[in-house]
Chain A
Amino acid sequence: VVWRSLATALRPDPQLHHQHTSPRERRAIRDNIYKNKRCRMETCFDFSRCQSGFRVYIYPPQRGDEISETYQKILTSIEGSRFHTTDPSKACLFVLAVDTLDRDQLSAQYVQNVRSRIQSLPTWGDGRNHLIFNLYSGTWPDYTEDLGFEVGQAMLAKASADVVNFRPNFDISIPLFSKDHPLKGGGIGYLTLNDVPPSRKYLLVFKGKRYLTGIGSETRNALYHIHNGDDIILLTTCKHGKDWEKHKDSRCDRDNEEYSKFDYQELLHNSSFCLVPRGRRLGSFRFLEALQAACIPVILSNGWELPFSEVIDWRKAAIIGDERLLLQVPSITRSVGRDRILALRQQTQFLWDAYFSSVAKIVLTTLEVIQDRVDSLVSRNRLLWNSLPGGLYAFPQYSTDPAQFPFYYAVLGKSPTQQFTAVIHTVTPLQSQISPVVKLIIGVAKSKFCAQIVVLWNCDKPLPPRNKWPSTSVPLTVIEGQTKTMSSRFFPHDVIVTDAVLSLDEDSVLSTNEVDFAFIVWQSFPERIVGYPARSHYWDGSRSRWGYTSKWTNDYSMVLTGAAFYHRYYHYLFTHHVPPSLLTTVDRMANCEDILMNFLVSAVTKQPPIKVTQKKQYKETMMSQGSKASRWADPDHFAQRQTCMNAFSHWLGFMPLVHSQMRLDPVLFRDQVSILRKKYRDIERL
């Protein structure tokens, strides 16, 4: 009643004063003011350099450059990425050959006269479009963020970043990692079991140094207050450095003794929460260790800009505490419910595996974050960054709409489109109306789920005229490949608009029933490959390498893409994520493209493909009915496939294939009921 008499605060502006300032002028003024410490992408980054794509150039090392092992890993990661270019004129981003990782003057790794080295670079330009990596800044006793040279307009990818000096959406906070951190692949997370209730022996643990001089130890000094020797084990030691005894305080002896009683690994594996207090600097090694161990980090490091905080939602994987409230930590951790512990713990494993387990992942994440900024219209939203399989496998250049990917149907409450596109890879000429490919087209077109058929004409012979192809009820498109290479069968053609792709070899033999059933199954597993003939891998101990087998065994880890359903996104991933060198290998041998696709999909999903049941004669017909030129008849073919396995796992740094013992059959398959009651009768008929 009273408010009726109140005036509004939000009257439109009295008159339009701003009509006098030109937007162009305003931008020019802005670009001049906000430099160096106030850099943002719009004022300190030259976007015009990136018009030909996001390419990263590394300066050639100069004579006498000492590059640490860790920095070399960073450079190698960039060189191995799809962003790398050797042509500075095409580069959007420049990376120094000078090692700037350790800027602690007292460190042995400290590189002298970085300042003059950088200034002498012809394209330095006050650091514009440059990226500088740093793990350690400042030195004893105060460990400031000083690097010993001017960063200027260069972006800083820095560990232990302080929110106050951090230039938001310009700098990047990276995690502190040790010199033993692997280049690629990386250790898997320790969580192999979701035990419910998710309780572990300890609630909260920590084991680390306490500093007797210099900054950084207030919180660590106070830890003994909440250590209870029972389920909260917080251990510190004073023993480090040469003259620790000179500075030792009254607690040192007691603390040191307690410290030696517990094994760090034992604590890490058996605790629900791991304390990550700041050390000398804001970030500490404890962070990644806890993450890998599925020990939920409890971060006590006020002012720390968490690693990749621009994209990662840390609240889903960690407890972000406040150093001032150390004494509340026990009650906070005890108050976290079981379901939340379960969720937090799993998220630690996802994040560890997606962004942190190797140097290459950390570097790639850094580059992808920058690429998202450079073309913000084609960038990942937070869902893509924070759910499986993570930003390094979800490319916004394919789509910025999560519903277009195979991974997010469940979280978005959606389902894939109800139709598929059959893509038939053809390498032999069309001989007659009884060619296997003609029968295949007719059979597939009869499926009620088939939206269209695409024939990829990868044959040297000229394209047959339109009237040679069978007439079908669904649209039939013939695409003549430009390169006619094996890898081009997975090219993401614009004509493929359905979520599902049915990939076929021309000599595959499939009944409409089989197609329908496999598609129905795929709808339940849209992120996996669903198909018929399966193969397996094994570790060949005698030759210390991976082996490939086509024997009928009780399990399998690959499904051949000569007859398989998968999501169309994998065409994009295959073409744009796999390094060109591997694609060349595949094309040269005209072999292994199916193995590579299986590697890729399993690396993304961490899951095996799915084999569905097939008519018994399938394997035989496939081998015999194929034309003489069939690559399956070639004895070298099999040997090559062994080689491929090892080349692919080398690329990934690990073996992604996962075995499965399961085959999906129609519910009444071979059950003792009348065939008339069965929906997929053909599959049982011989």
Chain B
Amino acid sequence: MYPSGKYSSRGPALIPRMKTKHRIYYITLFSVVLLGLIATGMFQFWPHSIESTADWALDKRSVHDAPLVRLPVSSPIPERGDLSCRMHTCFDVYRCGYNPKNRIKVYIYPLQRFVDELGVPISSTGLSREYNDLLSAVSDSDFYTDDVTRACLFIPSIDVLNQNSLRIRETAQALAMLPRWDKGMNHVLFNMLPGGPPDYNTALDVPRDRALLAGGGFSTWTYRQGYDVSIPVYSPLSADVELPERQPGPRRYFILSSQMAIHREYRAELERLKEENGEALLLLDKCSNLSQGAAPARKRCYKGQVYDYPQILQESSFCVVLRGARLGQAALSDVLQAGCVPVILADSYILPFSEVLDWKRASVVIPEEKLSEMYTILKSIPHRQVEEMQRQAHWFWEAYFSSMKAIGLTTLQIINDRIYPYAARTYEQWNNPPVVKWSSVNSPLFLPLIPPRAPGFTAVVLTYDRVESLFRVITEISKVPSLAKLLVVWNNQNKSPPEGEKKFKCPECTAIDGLSLDQTHMVERSECINKFASVFGTMPLKVVEHRADPVLYKDDFPEKLKSFPNIGSL
């Protein structure tokens, strides 16, 4: 129904050109237009009626039942992506609005099957398993809205993950047909395998107007920093293979190369490195004569010896991830999963999620030209650091690579962080693995202030009913020059605090000293400590053996020259 509203708005412009002999025709047309306007108006009152049809969710409808849309040959084609696009020029923030949750709303278009005029689909695969997973994850997340009018970001359900399976022109036409396309504003396309033979461009070749691209193989020349999102190439092995947990530490091999499609020049270089350094390197390739039934993706070979992939990756400290025809390689994901430190040789490649992830902590990036120096370079990294990188690599996989859901939601979170930068996740939140998050200390008062122009201190005295001792404390502490304020917290409900005038005299005082020596008191306090430690899940208290004293404390030195002569005297 939406298109009818659009045509109706052209109506008034036609009327002045009307000729009398066609009056009846125009009256009819006018009525149609009027009906259209009324219908549009009704939709405004019933926005929810749009929702129900706009719900893409698959549990209600199978892929094969999705409506068929035929693309006219002359259907408009979007412009090629604009390299100068940035959030402030090509993204409409007004659609996102200010909201207390600081969360963008994401709409997913209903599933449709686009075909050309001859009925040939625009894509050889249609909706892929991976894209379906991604869309399901988004629809199950907090980002999702089924209300198109409230959406900030739009995700087409046209699957463009792999450019190879697409008909470029028709896919572009299909995008332009989307009812809210509007020059691609606020639309995000997910693509993992861009380009095609022979050049393999580093960004999706489908013309897409201003749509932002979550792409899997950007180079520094196609990536629009702060606009596009660089995403990983998902490895289907992630879902199929569960690797046993492996602690960071020394491994059987130092460097492992496991990719199958390595250019012969690079393979020759690797062979040379292997000759020089022997057993430390393991160079695997595809297996030439595998028995029937073995999945070739799960096996690698070296000189007739067969190794299980990706399990073998766990046996190496470093794993080579060389560029292929494309910059983005699914092998990166496998390598990270195995907790093997990726050695990335792909010049000008924008690493996945590099806007937020600090890859220097999890990988080694070596210029392709320096492949021959790889061994020396890696040998210079201390063991402790390698272990740290192994841990970090595995954490990156777990948090951001392990599923299409992780990839999709991370992408949305990055975009969310741009739109609500004041509520963005921090570097630590993105990069610190849970073990660091739990053990690290980030004081809110972290800055060593020099010199603190302190306005003094506030003394807070907690009291129950030991008035005499309270008065003694007050008398003593009020002599301190840097005391700014004294706050007494009267913690006794059965008794009201002494009146102001009586403050420094206490006739009814009774000494109840020695409370802290009480045996039950100590037992109670021990119980408290155990209780607190169990709630914290750890014992946060730390033991020190030092005590702060004034510089000249108990030194053989004239007392009157000491700043704090009274300390230590009873």
Are B427 and A9 in contact, with the CB atoms below 8 A?
no
Are B325 and A13 in contact, with the CB atoms below 8 A?
yes
Are A667 and B545 in contact, with the CB atoms below 8 A?
yes
Contact segment of A80-88, A405-413, A479-487:
A405-413
The number of residues on chain A lying at the interface, defined by a beta carbon within 8 Å of a beta carbon of chain B, is 108
Q: Which residues of B contact A16 (CB under 8 A)?
A: 261, 324-325
**Taking the complex as formed, is A137 at the interface, i.e. its CB lies under 8 A from any CB of chain B?**
no
A14, A377, A410, A552: which contacts B555 (Cβ < 8 A)? A552
* B499: min CB distance to chain A, Å: 31
Q: For window 634-675 of chain A, which residues contact chain B by CB distance below 8 Å?
A: 658, 660-667, 669-670
Q: Which residues of B contact A414 (CB under 8 A)?
A: 439
Contact segment of B73-81, B270-278, B362-370:
B362-370
**Taking the complex as formed, is A556 at the interface, i.e. its CB lies under 8 A from any CB of chain B?**
yes
Q: Which residues of A contact B452 (CB under 8 A)?
A: 192-193
Contact segment of A91-99, A236-244, A319-327, A585-593:
A319-327
**Taking the complex as formed, is B509 at the interface, i.e. its CB lies under 8 A from any CB of chain A?**
no
Are A19 and B546 in contact, with the CB atoms below 8 A?
no
Decide yes or no: A554 and B546 within 8 Å by CB, A23-B263, A322-B93, A343-B444 being known contacts.
no
Are B128 and A377 in contact, with the CB atoms below 8 A?
no
Q: Which residue of B lies closest to A166 (CB)?
A: B225
* B325: min CB distance to chain A, Å: 3
- The digit string for A500-526, where 1 denotes a CB below 8 A from any CB of B, is 000000000000000001001100100
Are B162 and A322 in contact, with the CB atoms below 8 A?
no
Are B129 and A346 in contact, with the CB atoms below 8 A?
no
Are A9 and B365 in contact, with the CB atoms below 8 A?
no
- Separation of A30 and B234 alpha carbons in the complex (Å): 27
Are A662 and B88 in contact, with the CB atoms below 8 A?
no
Q: Which residue of A lies closest to B92 (CB)?
A: A324
Decide yes or no: A521 and B563 within 8 Å by CB, A9-B131, A19-B264 being known contacts.
no
**Taking the complex as formed, is A534 at the interface, i.e. its CB lies under 8 A from any CB of chain B?**
yes
Q: Which residues of B contact A524 (CB under 8 A)?
A: 544, 546
A194, A376, A521: which contacts B546 (Cβ < 8 A)? A521
Q: Which residues of B contact A661 (CB under 8 A)?
A: 550-551, 563-564
Q: Which residues of B contact A225 (CB under 8 A)?
A: none
Are A22 and B265 in contact, with the CB atoms below 8 A?
yes
**Taking the complex as formed, is B279 at the interface, i.e. its CB lies under 8 A from any CB of chain A?**
no
B225, B549, B561: which contacts A664 (Cβ < 8 A)? B549
Q: Which residues of B contact A322 (CB under 8 A)?
A: 87-88, 93
Q: Which residues of A contact B58 (CB under 8 A)?
A: 2-3
- Separation of A534 and B550 alpha carbons in the complex (Å): 13
Are A377 and B63 in contact, with the CB atoms below 8 A?
no
Q: Which residues of B contact A22 (CB under 8 A)?
A: 263, 265
- The digit string for B343-356, where 1 denotes a CB below 8 A from any CB of A, is 00001100000000
- The digit string for A605-646, where 1 denotes a CB below 8 A from any CB of B, is 111000111001000000000000000000000000000000
Q: For window 453-506 of chain B, which residues contact chain A by CB distance below 8 Å?
A: 453-455
Are A554 and B563 in contact, with the CB atoms below 8 A?
yes
- The digit string for A355-386, where 1 denotes a CB below 8 A from any CB of B, is 00000000000000000000011011111001
For chain B, what secondary structure do more than half of its interface residues adopt (helix, strand, loop), or is it mixed? Answer: loop
Decide yes or no: A3 and B129 within 8 Å by CB, A319-B422, A554-B563 being known contacts.
yes
Are A27 and B369 in contact, with the CB atoms below 8 A?
yes
Contact segment of A34-42, A102-110, A143-151, A206-214:
A34-42
Kindly state the interface size class of chain B when it binds its partner.
35 or more
Contact segment of A172-180, A216-224, A395-403, A463-471:
A395-403
Are A9 and B86 in contact, with the CB atoms below 8 A?
no
Q: Which residues of A contact B435 (CB under 8 A)?
A: 413
**Taking the complex as formed, is A315 at the interface, i.e. its CB lies under 8 A from any CB of chain B?**
yes
Contact segment of B33-41, B313-321, B382-390, B522-530:
B382-390
A9, A27, A413, A666: which contacts B368 (Cβ < 8 A)? A27
**Taking the complex as formed, is B46 at the interface, i.e. its CB lies under 8 A from any CB of chain A?**
no
Q: Which residues of B contact A324 (CB under 8 A)?
A: 88, 93-94
Are A410 and B382 in contact, with the CB atoms below 8 A?
no
- Most chain A CB atoms below 10 A, which of B435, B447, B448, B561: B447
Q: For window 535-570 of chain B, which residues contact chain A by CB distance below 8 Å?
A: 544-557, 561-564, 568
- The digit string for A14-30, where 1 denotes a CB below 8 A from any CB of B, is 10111111111001001
Q: Which residues of A contact B421 (CB under 8 A)?
A: 315, 319-321
- Most chain B CB atoms below 10 A, which of A193, A332, A377: A377
**Taking the complex as formed, is A76 at the interface, i.e. its CB lies under 8 A from any CB of chain B?**
no
Q: Which residues of B contact A404 (CB under 8 A)?
A: 382, 384-385
- Separation of A27 and B545 alpha carbons in the complex (Å): 61
Are B265 and A8 in contact, with the CB atoms below 8 A?
no
Are A534 and B132 in contact, with the CB atoms below 8 A?
no
Are A554 and B127 in contact, with the CB atoms below 8 A?
no
Q: Which residue of B lies closest to A4 (CB)?
A: B129
- Separation of A4 and B561 alpha carbons in the complex (Å): 85
Are B552 and A554 in contact, with the CB atoms below 8 A?
yes
**Taking the complex as formed, is B360 at the interface, i.e. its CB lies under 8 A from any CB of chain A?**
yes
Q: Which residue of B lies closest to A301 (CB)?
A: B88
A10, A316, A335: which contacts B330 (Cβ < 8 A)? A10
**Taking the complex as formed, is B308 at the interface, i.e. its CB lies under 8 A from any CB of chain A?**
no
A12, A319, A346, A517: which contacts B446 (Cβ < 8 A)? A346
Are B442 and A664 in contact, with the CB atoms below 8 A?
no
A13, A20, A336, A380: which contacts B324 (Cβ < 8 A)? A13
Q: Which residue of B lies closest to A497 (CB)?
A: B382
A20, A413, A667: which contacts B439 (Cβ < 8 A)? A413
Are B192 and A665 in contact, with the CB atoms below 8 A?
no
Are B129 and A7 in contact, with the CB atoms below 8 A?
yes
Q: Which residues of B contact A377 (CB under 8 A)?
A: 364-366, 377
**Taking the complex as formed, is A169 at the interface, i.e. its CB lies under 8 A from any CB of chain B?**
yes
Q: Which residue of B lies closest to A21 (CB)?
A: B198
Q: Which residues of A contact B551 (CB under 8 A)?
A: 534, 553-556, 611, 660-663
Are A194 and B547 in contact, with the CB atoms below 8 A?
no
- Separation of A325 and B193 alpha carbons in the complex (Å): 36
- The digit string for B408-436, where 1 denotes a CB below 8 A from any CB of A, is 00000000000001101011100100011
- The digit string for A307-330, where 1 denotes a CB below 8 A from any CB of B, is 000000101100111111100100
Are A9 and B546 in contact, with the CB atoms below 8 A?
no
* A27: min CB distance to chain B, Å: 7
Are B325 and A386 in contact, with the CB atoms below 8 A?
no
**Taking the complex as formed, is A188 at the interface, i.e. its CB lies under 8 A from any CB of chain B?**
yes
* B533: min CB distance to chain A, Å: 18
Are A24 and B165 in contact, with the CB atoms below 8 A?
no
**Taking the complex as formed, is A339 at the interface, i.e. its CB lies under 8 A from any CB of chain B?**
yes
- Separation of A112 and B29 alpha carbons in the complex (Å): 69
A8, A40, A346, A658: which contacts B220 (Cβ < 8 A)? A40
**Taking the complex as formed, is A251 at the interface, i.e. its CB lies under 8 A from any CB of chain B?**
no
B131, B193, B360: which contacts A400 (Cβ < 8 A)? B360
Are B450 and A401 in contact, with the CB atoms below 8 A?
no
**Taking the complex as formed, is B8 at the interface, i.e. its CB lies under 8 A from any CB of chain A?**
no
* B364: min CB distance to chain A, Å: 7
**Taking the complex as formed, is B45 at the interface, i.e. its CB lies under 8 A from any CB of chain A?**
no
Are A42 and B367 in contact, with the CB atoms below 8 A?
yes
Are A663 and B553 in contact, with the CB atoms below 8 A?
yes
B93, B368, B381, B445: which contacts A194 (Cβ < 8 A)? B445
Q: Which residues of A contact B68 (CB under 8 A)?
A: none
Q: Which residue of A lies closest to B366 (CB)?
A: A377
- Separation of A335 and B443 alpha carbons in the complex (Å): 22
Q: Which residue of B lies closest to A16 (CB)?
A: B261
**Taking the complex as formed, is B197 at the interface, i.e. its CB lies under 8 A from any CB of chain A?**
yes
**Taking the complex as formed, is B201 at the interface, i.e. its CB lies under 8 A from any CB of chain A?**
no
Beyond known contacts A18-B261, A554-B552: 7 more, CB 8 A cutoff: A9-B131, A10-B234, A16-B324, A42-B348, A413-B441, A553-B551, A680-B545
A–B pairs, 7, beta carbons within 8 Å: A5-B63, A40-B221, A42-B347, A194-B447, A313-B427, A380-B360, A679-B545
Q: Taking beta carbons and an 8 Å cutoff, which residues of A are in contact with B?
A: 2-3, 5-14, 16-24, 27, 30, 34, 38, 40, 42, 163-164, 168-169, 188, 191-194, 302-303, 313, 315-316, 319-325, 328, 331-332, 335-336, 339, 342-343, 346, 349-350, 376-377, 379-383, 386, 388, 399-401, 403-404, 410-414, 517, 520-521, 524, 534, 552-556, 605-607, 611-613, 616, 658, 660-667, 669-670, 679-680
